[in-house]
Chain A
């Protein structure tokens, strides 16, 4: 046994510590007149101690090995010029001149080793981090933030994944495999949040540096989540550093922020971060001469993140996450919109929320682990448009309880509860806002609704999942979920199943299927402005895939993931202008469940890594259609036949990196307007729609480029990036606008070339 350990120890040290070591000193002799020389070895920039590294001092060729704190010590070094030499895999060779004093003892030295590269470009992990679900793709936050076109926001980077449709304009909404944006659920540490982006896409609501990873769950995702027909984007907070005080501050053209991370005691650590935008100030300056548009409160957003992590015992961990976010915008429009005179006067909107998420993980033994977490929160949404307004205040409690039971090395089970209870105060006075085929009627022509109610909704969910390995090649994941939605008073069982077959060392096949429900939105099931008889919309998913690793054991080469998906949508909630009889009187139906549809396609991602070059090509070929009562089938608003993202990066010397993204997306479908009728009471024209989504705007093509540079100082790192979106200044058509009577139309193009410069300092 001792012999085996000795061999192992020798091999381990040989791989790392003794690599490229200078010729050992024939005799690490102790000079009779030598002095003690000691110090610490750190990683340059991060000041992280480097353990188990060989430090040589020349010319005496003495060697010392650093301890866990990076400390080294030479007992006797002759006075005079000396040279420190450290040669460690993954770091630049250190060759540093010094001088050993003749008198007294030498002062402690601090040596800093610079990493070979601070730019790692390995971003997408498929089914590795989240082994429970092959339908999950995971982005590492630290690296996704460096993708071109995302302005340093890792959540935005999800848009580069296959199966994610491109949202129009500046929006970053995640549209999954032909579903609607509202079918995507967003979570922080597993708990639902009302928004994940400030103003729909400017930036995510949580500091990128607080994130560990972003999970993207698409067709066939497992039973531990529900209430989302499309899929889920889950962001997970990072464990704060327990080793040392760290911090950073950044500034770019639209916002700035800072965070501190510190150990608390031996077992705890805290991270606190804050961010504030000033994009509104820029807009204010741009519009100060416009007397018809007065920006009284510039659009601004801010957010706050706190993560406290504590190892309670060897069996228990505690974490507390707090996220708060606020978006505000206020302006006065003196000149009404030409075909919508109601659109004038004071505009004010404020969206804010906070979540307090305590989490407890307890390992009962080697085979049983429980995870409990709560999401305590409040949401505020206020919107004022002249005399019209909408106000919503919601208290919510989300609960996740899960026990993982490892029965044996081939069978693991998960039992869990996933619930959301909410209490809301809603008051509104708004015109009925009809939007058919993506063409909205002027709000001036809508019937005014006034409501002031207190409402509650209770969505209770329970699930059970098994992860079973059968033989050496098969693994299956049978599971089920049952949900209760109080707004529609339905119990909804949802079976789910996934399987994987390992064909050989580099190739595997996978498949998943399941039933998915989501509660109707509050206004859709409201007795006042909706339809109390509405049912929960639902979707059936099926997905197949193949994963092939062409690297043959090397770290260089290609990996491919590809496969078809299919979704069938039923009982979709659609607006209705019909009347129904309820309680003996004729009332507006407002909404019904007459919507149906399907989405299908094939998505592929080819990753390549030929250091220093790396990147991926993702491509989705898909079709998404919908139908409503008495209407022929039409393509969905979010149908994009081709969606291609080509991302490439090269890591250059001196910590430079250049990356680029090229996107090609089929033009979005639009509904033609064939005429109009003048509403003489409301002084606006009502459009007459042609066949829904029967035309398309031109394809979207955009090239984004990003340049990153890091300057590594001994105790801190300065980094800067230049992110240029739409480098070629191509005028991509995002939508069309119409003349007041809809007789003429013109293209609305997207954002022009937009360079963003950011600087960040971290220690």
Chain B
């Protein structure tokens, strides 16, 4: 179960800052989690796959 432990160690901690990241939407626009700070809450959904 070492792999599981390794993956679990990246779990997000509650009441601590969520890790910032930068991705591009499918139109090429850059989106950063920190873009929303001070403006909106963010509901991050990690999809289980739609294909």
Q: Do A and B come from one complex?
A: no
**Interface residues, chain B, CB within 8 Å of chain A?**
none
